[in-house]
Each structure stands twice: as C-alpha cells, then as structure tokens.
A and B are shown apart, each in its own frame.
Chain A
Amino acid sequence: MGEDVIITIKNLSKVFEREGEKTEAIRNLCLNVVRGQLLCIVGPTGCGKTTLLRIVAGLEKPTGGTVLLDGQEKSSPSADRGMVFQEFALFPWRTVAENIEFGLEIKGVPIQERMEIVKRYVDLVGLKGFEKAYPRELSGGMKQRVAIARALANDPRVLLMDEPFGSLDAQTRNIMQRELLRIWNETKKTIVFVTHSVDEAVYLADRIAVLTARPGTLKKVIDVQLQRPRDRVGEEFFEIRRSILHEVEVEVEKALEQP
C-alpha cells in the first residue's frame, strides 16, 4: 500500500453485556491510521465511534480483534496514546500549568525541564498568562486548549480526540477547529478525531472514515484532498460534505429503525 501506517485496527469487535442483555457495538472493524494524518471518524449516534476510540486508547478491552501501534499490540492505556475528552477532564485541583505537567510528573521529568515544556505548550495553545489559573476560572474553549496542551506535552505517538469541541458554542467551535489545525501543523502529530459533525470532519480531516449504524463497522473511507485553509462555503467543500452526509444519513435512517 505504501502508506506509513501507525495504527492498525484488525477485525475489532466489542460486545457490551448489561443485566443479561448483549449489545454488539462494533463488529469486525478494520481500519488503518496513517502517520501524521488527521483522521476523522464519523457515523450515526450509537455506531460505536467513541467505543472504538476508547479501545484504541486502551480504556476498554475489545471482545475480539487487535489494535497495533507501530506493530505492537496494545490493550491497556499508556502515555503513547494521549486523549482529549469532550468533558475536558481537567484536574480541578491543579492549575493550568500543573495540569499540563501531569504526564511529565509521572514520567519523572525533572522540574526545570518540566517548566520549559509547560511553557512551550502554554504558548502553543495560546494560553500565555493563564498558567496559574484554575479550570473553574476558564471558559470551555480555554479548558479544551489546556486539555490539548496536557496531552501533547506528554509527547504521545498519537493524539485521540473524542468529540472535543462538542461542548462548545458554534463560534468557539470554529475558532478551536482553526486552532487545532495550527497546533497540528506545528507538532505534526497523528490525530484520530471522532465527531458527529460532518462539517467539522470535512474542515479538519485528511481522511474521513464513515462507520455504519450499530453494530459499527467501516462503511467507507474518503480522502479529502482540499488545500488548507479550507473554505467552509466553497463549492468543493460543499460537494464532499454532501456525499459524506449522504452516506451518514443512510446509516442514521438504519439506526432509527433499530429497537
């Protein structure tokens, strides 16, 4: 294939069992993630995209199949797969700077070095001056910047993002999308980005994976070859958006028919 694959997801399946009832969230899903790419995963609600991301992160265990990171099987969480959550998940008892250095503390990085790294990432996400603030003092957008800085400061091999802008208002969301692209451009990290907004996916992604309705499996992979910065109201943008939306809507209908 010639692509530099960093993550290989092979025949992944996940069945949840609750009070005797089984729910098949993911069935036989295969997907490759290319190094350095920004991959978006879209699909109807309940298609298992968040579950998929959590399995890659190691926060859930698959019922079947494997996840390989640079050829190594990964089934538990570690610092090589950083994650950003929709709910921000900042540690409320730590300041912005202390949140960002969390992973570094765990690694045992000495204080001087930690401070330098923290400073670099604070600047990168545009939060200079807020190092000593507490999460409760920040707006949603600012919190997510901290979360991104925190994940990146830990130098993971891949950054997983689970609907990170879902809690933000539309304006902030657009700003954060631009900011994410800027940060991505500077760090060149592989990003796997789950969202249910096709708009967002088309704006951000190099490649979009569409999942089917439950049980989720890979429906289609579309490469988005538009140049960045992308024109949200441009014709090409519109075309790609329309075709992907169509794919997703078919799945949404199927999902509605499910019990």
Chain B
Amino acid sequence: MKKDILIRVGIGAISLIFFLIVWDRAASSIRSPYLPPPYDVLKALISMLVFNQVDHTGHFMSDHISASVFRVLYGFALAALVGVPVGLFTGWSWYIESAASPIIEVIRPIPPLAWIPFAIKFFGDPFNTVFIVFIGAVFPTIISTVAGVKAIDPILVDAAKTLGATRSKLFTKVVLPSSAPSITTGLRIGLGVGWMCIVAAEMVGVKTGGLGYYILVMMDIGRFENVFAGMILIGIIGFIMVATMSYLERRLSRWARM
C-alpha cells in the first residue's frame, strides 16, 4: 500500500516537472510577457508569500487570500444551509418537486457572472460577492441532494415502515442518512464551483482585496507574472478546500462503499 502511494506521488511529480519544462520551452520560444516563464512566476510567488510585500493596491497577499477564502466559505455555508433542505424536500415530496422544479431548472443555467449587475444593485460588500459564490454553489448541492433522496432503495423505506416509522421519522432516520453520501458529494462540487466563481465575484467592487481582484488588477496593468502567480494560488487553495471536503465525504460515506 505504501509502495503504491510512493509510486503514485513519484509519477505525479515527474508529470508536473514535465509540464513545467513544456511551459518553460513554450515561454522562451514565444517570448511574450503575456506568457511568463515559470521562473518569473516563481519569483513573483516568493515575493508575494515569503517576503509578504504590499502591492500597489495597498494590500498584502495574506489580505487577498483571507478575503477570498472568507467570501467563499460564507457563500458556501449559505449554499449548504439553503441547498440541502431544498434538495431534501424537493426529492422527497412530489408536490414540492412540482413547485420547485421549474424555478430551479430555469435559474440553474444562468451563469453566476450574469448575476453581477443584480448583486451590485441590491447588495453591499461582502454580500454582493458572497451572493455570486452562493449562486454557483447552491445548484450542484440541490441537484446532488435530490438525486440522493431519489436513489433511496424503496425496500429500506418499506422495512422502516414495518418497524413503525412515521413519515417524519422516515425522513430523519432513513432519508437523511441514506442521502448523506450524495449530499456531501454535492457540497464538495458546490464548494469547487463556488471557489471558481471568486474571480467573477470580485469584479463586483470589493473593499478588502481578494485573489480574483488581485488577478484582475495585475492583468489591468500587464504584470502577467503576478497574474499567473495569482492563478496558481487560486488553484492550490481550491485544491486544498476540495481535498478537505473529499476527505469528509469519504468518511461519511464509508458504509456506502461495498
């Protein structure tokens, strides 16, 4: 087992190095500041993180990171609080599904970006950005939760009934635990989508910085090594968040894996 992990990490590392080499070659043959070589990006990353320099907007990188992470977690929490119950009720009750389904299906395809003017008009900082994250995260949560509820083996419901379960007990003791794996899957996907919305969300006009804001500002003045550094940071942080959720997901659904 240990050996497998080592091999996997080893292959992954080689693949990453290969990717960096390709990037470096491409950058040196294209020779455009719009595609900075990995070394410049690394320098930018180090000055941002290790030396913690202030940028021209007056923020430290730690400000940007914490601002974005706060917004995403806030938006994600709201998406979970709204999405899970909505998903549960929609999956469980045919009537509620008939009512909710048209609304969900019409709003879901609208990209979070399109909500920006609405968010600016009606919400202030931080809720305007949090709202965009919320919109991105709530739909995967709902969809996955509904699927989880609908996938319940009907024989479990039958068994519970013959053990005396009323409709409400069925909900708490059968529906909820049975759909828990799907719920956590939906939450994990929702968190990932919510984090991806951060760049779009921070176009809304933020006061305290943010990684998306940082990238936009750096793009604006043409400092692309910082843009790429910011992108990499977004990728890394996103990975950490989703990996954490995945771990939780695996723990909660151990019983579901044969």
On whether A and B touch (CB less than 8 Å), the answer reads: yes
Residues of A within 8 A of B (CB): 54, 57-59, 77-79, 81-83, 85, 87, 89-94, 102-103, 105-107, 134-136, 147, 150-151, 154, 156, 160
B162 touches A79 (CB 8 A): yes
Contacting residues, chain B, for A77 (C-beta < 8 A) = 158, 161-162
A150 touches B158 (CB 8 A): no
> Chain A CB within 10 Å — which of B164, B165, B166 has the most?
B164
B162 touches A81 (CB 8 A): yes
Contacting residues, chain B, for A87 (C-beta < 8 A) = 155
* Min CB gap B163→A, angstroms: 4
Per a CB cutoff under 8 Å, which of A59, A136, A154 touches B163?
Answer: A154
A58 touches B161 (CB 8 A): yes
Give Cα A93 to B155, complex, Å.
15
What are 28 A-B pairs at a CB distance below 8 A? A57-B158, A57-B162, A58-B162, A59-B161, A77-B161, A78-B162, A78-B164, A81-B162, A83-B158, A85-B158, A87-B155, A89-B156, A89-B159, A91-B156, A91-B160, A91-B177, A93-B178, A93-B256, A102-B160, A102-B163, A103-B163, A106-B163, A106-B166, A135-B255, A136-B258, A151-B162, A154-B164, A160-B162
Give Cα A79 to B163, complex, Å.
5
B256 touches A92 (CB 8 A): yes
A106 touches B177 (CB 8 A): no
Per a CB cutoff under 8 Å, which of A78, A85, A93, A136 touches B159?
Answer: A85
Contacting residues, chain A, for B258 (C-beta < 8 A) = 136
B164 touches A79 (CB 8 A): yes
Contacting residues, chain A, for B173 (C-beta < 8 A) = 102, 105-106
Q: Decide yes or no whether B42 CB sits under 8 A from chain A.
A: no
Q: Please provide the 4 A-B residue pairs with the shortest distance between their CB atoms, ordered closest to farther.
A: A79-B164, A103-B163, A77-B161, A89-B159
Contacts A102-B173, A106-B173, A136-B255 given; does A89 touch B163 at CB 8 Å: no
In chain B, positions 121-165 with a C-beta closer than 8 Å to chain A are 153, 155-156, 158-165
* Min CB gap A164→B, angstroms: 12
A106 touches B164 (CB 8 A): yes
Give Cα A107 to B166, complex, Å.
10
* Min CB gap A193→B, angstroms: 15
Contacting residues, chain A, for B160 (C-beta < 8 A) = 91, 102
* Min CB gap B60→A, angstroms: 45
Contacting residues, chain A, for B35 (C-beta < 8 A) = none
Closest to A60 in B: B158
Contacting residues, chain A, for B155 (C-beta < 8 A) = 85, 87, 89
> Chain A CB within 10 Å — which of B155, B162, B163 has the most?
B162
Contacts A89-B155, A105-B173, A106-B173 given; does A82 touch B255 at CB 8 Å: no
A83 touches B164 (CB 8 A): no
Contacting residues, chain B, for A92 (C-beta < 8 A) = 255-256
> Chain A CB within 10 Å — which of B156, B161, B180 has the most?
B161
* Min CB gap A150→B, angstroms: 7
A151 touches B163 (CB 8 A): yes
Contacting residues, chain A, for B196 (C-beta < 8 A) = none
Q: Decide yes or no whether B174 CB sits under 8 A from chain A.
A: yes
Per a CB cutoff under 8 Å, which of B156, B163, B178 touches A82?
Answer: B163
B163 touches A150 (CB 8 A): yes
Q: Decide yes or no whether B169 CB sits under 8 A from chain A.
A: yes
* Min CB gap A146→B, angstroms: 11
> Chain A CB within 10 Å — which of B155, B159, B169 has the most?
B159
A59 touches B256 (CB 8 A): no
B164 touches A103 (CB 8 A): yes
Closest to B165 in A: A106
A134 touches B159 (CB 8 A): no
B177 touches A83 (CB 8 A): no
* Min CB gap B93→A, angstroms: 18
Contacting residues, chain B, for A57 (C-beta < 8 A) = 158, 162
Closest to B174 in A: A91
- Given contacts A82-B162, A91-B174, list 8 more A-B pairs with CB under 8 A: A78-B161, A83-B158, A83-B159, A85-B155, A85-B158, A87-B155, A89-B155, A91-B156
Contacting residues, chain B, for A156 (C-beta < 8 A) = 162
Give Cα A150 to B159, complex, Å.
10
A93 touches B158 (CB 8 A): no
Give Cα A58 to B258, complex, Å.
31
